[in-house]
Amino acid sequence: MRLLTNPFLLLAAACVKAGTVTYQWEVSWVNAAPDGFSRPVIGVNGAWPCPTIEATVGDTVVVQLTNKLGNQTTGIHFHGINQVNTDYMDGPSGVTQCPVPPGSSITYSFTVDAPGTYWYHSHNMGQYPDGFRGPMIVHDPVDPYKGQYDEEVILTVSDWYHSQSLDLVRKMLSPNNTQFQPPIPNGIIVNEGRSGRINFVKGKTYRVRIISFAALGSAMIHFDSHTMRVIMNDASYVQKTDTYQLRVSPAQRYDVLISAIDRDRRNYPFLVSLDINRDFANDATLRWPYNFTGYLAMDPAGDFTQKDVVTKWRPADDSRFSPLVPEPPIGPVTKTVKLDFTFCIDANGIPRACFNGQPMVPQKVPTLYSVATTGNDNTNPLVYGAVNPFIFKMGDIVEVALNNIDAAIHPFHLHGHQFQVLDRPASGAGRWSGRSTSSTGSVPRRDTVSVNANSYVVIRFKVDWPGVYLFHCHIEWHVEMGLTATFIEAPEQLRGIQFPQDHLDNCRKMNIPYQGNAAGNTQNPLDQSGMQTVPDTTYNGAMYTPASTPRLRSRIVRKSL
């Protein structure tokens, strides 16, 4: 069970009358032209953009998904949701579930235990840049900022590609890509191509929930002459902080308050610029090829031609935000993980992205299923193959020091946790010294942090519940290059857990084993024979190949969490 220490969450948990919100989705290809260029995208119930999920703290969210794509598998990750004791609902294919084949269904059901601005997206072989993503809002019945705003607005930002992900990744994973170049977007879209106008009424304050759906570029945001008062980053409340500029990295969210004051009497442009630079603060030459102008609209018949101009981007330093309730670093640290990120070349000459010299290599058996079915051996990393596994015990205070040995800024996300950001120095700081941080003040929490170029970040979290949680760069192309580690937490408590029948049925339809070690060995989990050590040379993404021979159902000893 999650240990709630934030008094606002404790009060919310005590006051909420829980309900159930249910969504029935058929996922299929539709055509859309959010920037004027028509292309196939993945929609829900025949439409795109995909719908918003809304719930209140304590609710059970149920999403019943049927795959009608025809040619691709799929699945959903609910980004930022803790998945306390429902880790098998987290969604990454090959990790906590098997992918859902065409014609098949899956039901996700979980409790939302913390308020905030979240989003959902496919976590299946680079699929979400093809459009399968949407907002997820968890309302707070004891919102500490209640009464300080009048209306809520969702503002999504994203880079956008005219080609489908499969073709883009295939070109990237070519021996000829010696510079490790990711796919470069064709443009920027706001609100998935819908209106960028926000109704703006004098005397009102608006809570703007900003969400980045991007696969590569960060969004630089400025609201003309209006101050953004940040009240939440990702899904963690912060003390109200005024800023004029924000940099929103892929997968990050910010809740900001913007007020229409007495002097306001026109339509005010706001600017969203797509940051595809390696390091916007230090690069000698900068590129801002894609810009979007929206409006705080006070006069529907008025002027919508003015532009918001920013001469130099100096966004707020989010690592300096203070949590609403002061929170010192947790400790003492019981487990330290050091990760060096570099680009690398695999044994077949294909460009990859590596932690400690090793890209994540997908295995035959989803990692969570190996945890559940390998008995006393499930605390041994040898069981899991080349997924960059790290094993933690219940109650561990884990400190992760990540060295970004690259000349570009990279956003890193941890599933299932709001981690503390203890140290995030500027670009050029070099590698972490190996000493524990001396920070004793109040430190912020979030689930996605940008790590500066040729620098590092130090984060901490506590293992409060069991599960298998990924830690990865949220540049989606780098995930496909292998930039992922697997955190296996309290595996002793996952032995023999019960999986939903429809989840196992999808494994059988895909002819994917769901017992034993990474290679499917149920007799000797420590035998690494048959485990994949190098990624496949042919990349097929989420493309569906029917299983030739259905695998017989295996007997599983089950117990509930």
- In the sheet that 197-199 helps form, which strands lie side by side, from edge to edge? 197-199, 291-297, 268-275, 218-222, 245-248
In this prediction, residue 436 carries a pLDDT of 61
In this prediction, residue 525 carries a pLDDT of 98
Cβ neighbours for 236, distance < 8 A, ≥ 6 positions apart: 116, 323, 418, 444, 445, 446
Please give the residue range of the domain that contains residue 432. 335-509
Question: Which of these, 126, 97, 100, lies nearest to 110 by C-alpha position?
Answer: 97
Task: Report the largest interatomic distance among the alpha carbons of the chain, rounded to a whole angstrom.
Answer: 74
Asked if the structure places residue 145 within a domain, the reply is no
Instruction: Say if residues 123 and 100 touch (Cβ distance below 8 Å).
Output: no
Instruction: Say if residues 483 and 341 touch (Cβ distance below 8 Å).
Output: yes
Query: Which of helix, strand or coil describes residue 354?
Result: strand
Instruction: Say if residues 154 and 198 touch (Cβ distance below 8 Å).
Output: no
Same domain, 134 and 182: no
Q: Which of 320, 348, 368 is the last residue of a domain?
A: 320
Question: CB atoms < 10 A from the CB of 3, how many?
Answer: 8
8-state DSSP, 14: H
Instruction: Say if residues 198 and 207 touch (Cβ distance below 8 Å).
Output: no
Residue with tokens 């299923």: 369
Same domain, 78 and 187: no
Structure tokens at 556: 């599983």
Instruction: Say if residues 108 and 523 touch (Cβ distance below 8 Å).
Output: no
Structure tokens at 309: 């101009």
Cα–Cα distance, 88 to 53 (Å, whole number)? 19
Question: CB atoms < 10 A from the CB of 279, how many?
Answer: 18
Same domain, 395 and 486: yes
**CA 557 vs CA 147, 193, 373, 401, 443: distances in Å:** 51, 49, 8, 38, 43
Structure tokens at 458: 């130090």
Same domain, 88 and 229: no
Asked if the structure places residue 505 within a domain, the reply is yes
Distance of CA 237 to the CA centre of its chain: 18
- In the sheet that 228-233 helps form, which strands lie side by side, from edge to edge? 187-190, 151-160, 205-212, 253-259, 228-233, 236-243
Query: Which of helix, strand or coil describes residue 494?
Result: helix
Structure tokens at 488: 């296996």
Instruction: Say if residues 275 and 221 touch (Cβ distance below 8 Å).
Output: no
Tell me how many degrees the CA angle 158-162-166 measures, rounded to the nearest 5. 95
In this prediction, residue 550 carries a pLDDT of 40
Same domain, 296 and 437: no
Asked if the structure places residue 515 within a domain, the reply is no
Cβ neighbours for 308, distance < 8 A, ≥ 6 positions apart: 222, 223, 224, 268, 269, 270, 271, 293
Structure tokens at 236: 């963690």
Asked if the structure places residue 326 within a domain, the reply is no
Same domain, 90 and 165: no
Backbone angles phi and psi of 120, in degrees to 5: -120, 155
Cα–Cα distance, 453 to 343 (Å, whole number)? 13
Same domain, 182 and 135: no
The secondary structure of 100-139 as a DSSP string is B-TT-EEEEEEE--S-EEEEEE--SSS-GGGT-EEEEEEE
Question: Which of these, 480, 490, 224, lies nearest to 334 by C-alpha position?
Answer: 490
8-state DSSP, 528: -
Instruction: Say if residues 411 and 473 touch (Cβ distance below 8 Å).
Output: yes
Asked if the structure places residue 183 within a domain, the reply is yes
Same domain, 276 and 359: no
Instruction: Say if residues 315 and 273 touch (Cβ distance below 8 Å).
Output: no
Same domain, 19 and 55: yes
Query: Residue 478 belongs to a domain with what CATH number?
Result: 2.60.40.420
Predicted confidence pLDDT, tens digits, the chain (561 residues): 333 444 444 444 445 568 999 999 999 999 999 999 999 999 999 999 999 999 999 999 999 999 999 999 999 999 999 999 999 999 999 999 999 999 999 999 999 999 999 999 999 999 999 999 999 999 999 999 999 999 999 999 999 999 999 999 999 999 999 999 999 999 999 999 999 999 999 999 999 999 999 999 999 999 999 999 999 999 999 999 999 999 999 999 999 999 999 999 999 999 999 999 999 999 999 999 999 999 999 999 999 999 999 999 999 999 999 999 999 999 999 999 999 999 999 999 999 999 999 999 999 999 999 999 999 999 999 999 999 999 999 999 999 999 999 999 999 999 999 999 999 999 999 999 987 665 668 999 999 999 999 999 999 999 999 999 999 999 999 999 999 999 999 999 999 999 999 999 999 999 999 999 999 999 999 999 999 999 999 999 999 988 654 443 333 333 434
Q: Which of 139, 160, 183 is the last residue of a domain?
A: 139
Cα–Cα distance, 364 to 14 (Å, whole number)? 43
Query: Which of helix, strand or coil describes residue 319?
Result: helix
Same domain, 162 and 199: yes
Same domain, 264 and 365: no
Asked if the structure places residue 559 within a domain, the reply is no
Same domain, 386 and 455: yes
Q: Which of 295, 320, 345 is the last residue of a domain?
A: 320
Asked if residue 381 has a cis previous peptide bond (ω within 30° of 0), the answer is no
Asked if the structure places residue 542 within a domain, the reply is no
8-state DSSP, 51: P
Work out whether strand 419-423 and strand 445-446 pair parallel, antiparallel, or are unpaired: antiparallel
Single-letter amino acid, residue 405:
I
Structure tokens at 130: 């093809």
In this prediction, residue 14 carries a pLDDT of 44
Asked if the structure places residue 520 within a domain, the reply is no
Cα–Cα distance, 446 to 204 (Å, whole number)? 28
Query: Which of helix, strand or coil describes residue 554?
Result: coil
What total of structural domains would you count in the chain? 3
Question: Which of these, 112, 110, 116, 111, lies nearest to 140 by C-alpha position?
Answer: 116
